[in-house]
């Protein structure tokens, strides 16, 4: 997806406090859609992967009237936030850091095809950036493409074989996307074996236990996504 496919915004357009607040809430909740994922560059200790214990912050009185934005509104808000970076990108179109940050904005706004586009461009400059590649793989999952997600996770691991967040997310897609319990458990066990001090060890063990409950399901049968 290119810039011309996104809603345009002017340099003078500003977010209202309600818009900014609403997008912030959506950014906090974006991981809930898939249930469990950890961002590629995120500390596992700061990640919330137990959806039953995840809730949005309370809305204060000033923003009590805020409504959940439509996809078009989410894209417009992301376009506005990305605007200054897009201007910088015009003068420096191969700046991997700018491309990554723009991709992150669209990822957090659930504009996953657009995020993938910017992540791809960043990876052309820095193909070994495993954080970006892991986030791109997760974005592929959110678009419903488990095969592309797994391929990108595997490519990330070719650069950094023991990267914990990549292994964490790969196991989820092997389980939820392919119902390959054995592969998922092997992936998570590798995570624990190669990262003995992994901060999210308890979360991994919980996932392994849940996946094993599905052990009677034939490999290759997509699981129902977590809600």
Q: Is residue 176 part of a domain?
A: yes
Residue 180 sits in a domain whose CATH number is 1.25.40.10
pLDDT in tens, 56-106: 222 233 443 457 888 899 999 999 999 999 999 999 999 999 999 999 999
* Residue-wise pLDDT tens digits, 138-162: 999 999 999 999 999 999 999 999 9
For residues 85 and 98, is the Cβ–Cβ distance under 8 A? Answer: yes
For residue 124, the Cα-to-chain-centroid distance in whole angstroms is: 19
What letter would DSSP give residue 34? T
200, 46 contact by CB (below 8 A): no
The answer to whether position 98 is within a domain reads yes
Residues 201, 164: contact at Cβ < 8 Å? no
Name the residue range of residue 75's domain: 16-212
CA distance 116 to 120: 6
Q: How far apart are CA 156 and CA 163, in angstroms?
A: 8
Instruction: For residues 207 and 195, give the distance between their C-alpha atoms in angstroms, rounded to a whole number.
Output: 16
Q: How many structural domains are present in the chain?
A: 1
Residue 126 lies in a domain: yes
């Amino acid at each position: 997806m290119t810039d011309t496919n996104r809603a345009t915004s002017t340099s003078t357009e500003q977010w209202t406090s309600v818009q900014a607040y609403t997008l912030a809430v959506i950014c906090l909740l974006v991981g809930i859609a898939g249930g469990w994922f950890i961002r590629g560059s995120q500390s596992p200790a700061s990640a919330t992967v137990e959806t039953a214990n995840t809730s949005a912050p309370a809305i204060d009185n000033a923003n009590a009237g805020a409504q959940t934005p439509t996809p078009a509104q989410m894209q417009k808000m992301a376009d506005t936030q990305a605007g200054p970076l897009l201007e910088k990108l015009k003068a420096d179109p191969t700046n991997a850091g700018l491309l990554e940050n723009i991709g992150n904005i669209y990822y957090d706004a659930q504009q996953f095809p657009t995020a993938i586009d910017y992540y791809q461009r960043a990876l052309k400059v820095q193909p070994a950036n495993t954080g970006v590649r892991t986030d791109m793989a997760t974005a592929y999952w959110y678009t419903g493409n488990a095969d592309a997600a797994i391929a990108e996770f595997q490519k990330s691991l070719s650069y950094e074989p023991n990267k914990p967040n990549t292994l964490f997310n790969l196991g989820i897609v092997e389980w939820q996307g392919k119902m390959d319990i054995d592969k998922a458990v092997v992936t998570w066990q590798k995570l624990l074996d190669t990262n003995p001090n992994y901060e999210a060890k308890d979360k991994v063990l919980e996932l392994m236990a849940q996946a094993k409950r599905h052990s009677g399901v034939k490999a290759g049968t997509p699981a129902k996504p977590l809600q």
